[in-house]
Structure 1
Amino acid sequence: MAKIFQIPVVYICENNLFGLGTFCARAAANTKYYTRCEYIPGICIDGMDVLAVREGIKFAIDYAQSGNGPIIAECVTYRYFGHSMSDPGTSYRKREDIEETREKETASKSTRII
């Protein structure tokens, strides 16, 4: 309906790479969620970079408000902890994977020029 009526809306999908108890690639055939809508365009944003999120959302808002209709913004991030109190987050991934991701993210932040 949003596309039919060209409603200026920004849909945001937070993709933290995990569902409840599994890695997203095990639950979805297409994990590029921003591409899954046939008629609404989408963009993918590095959700781990606050400046990239700011600029990506600014682009999406400008796009929608310029009369182009709706747009989807997928913010790809990483969930370091379990999904809830009943999900420790360690049955479907190793602690080493979590630490490796944390170290890579810290290293990449120290090399970014702001």
Structure 2
Amino acid sequence: MSSSRLASSLYLLTFALLLQNVLGTDPLFSRCSSNANSTVNSSYKTSLNVLMASLYQLAPVEGFALGSLGQSNQDRPYGLVLCRGDVSSSDCRACAANATREIRKRCPNSKGAIIAYDNCLLKVF
């Protein structure tokens, strides 16, 4: 009886851990800059969206991506994604995608923001 109870507990624990990985977790840290804001249709916002998409694509290759995009200094966002060294490229991609979605939700009009998870960090400024 105790071995079947142990097996059931292990299955339940495994399922819970898999579910947590699939659904994502809350960030360890997030902060939106209060120094400067952007408007929804600004060239900065457009550049930021393109930049975050490219960082999301590049980060899993090396575990790190850094970039900037835009014509003038005031419309040029900078950003970086850093994944933990022991994280697989697929987990890095998933974390970067989640961080990109969350930073857009949490800081929709902020020109600077940072969000950190167990597996990755995303910063835009």
Q: Do they superpose with TM above 0.5? A: no
Structure 1 length as normaliser, TM-score?
A: 0.30
Higher relative contact order (Cα pairs below 8 Å, separated by 6+ residues): 1
Q: Based on CA coordinates, which of the two structures has the bigger radius of gyration? A: 2
Structure 2 length as normaliser, TM-score?
A: 0.28
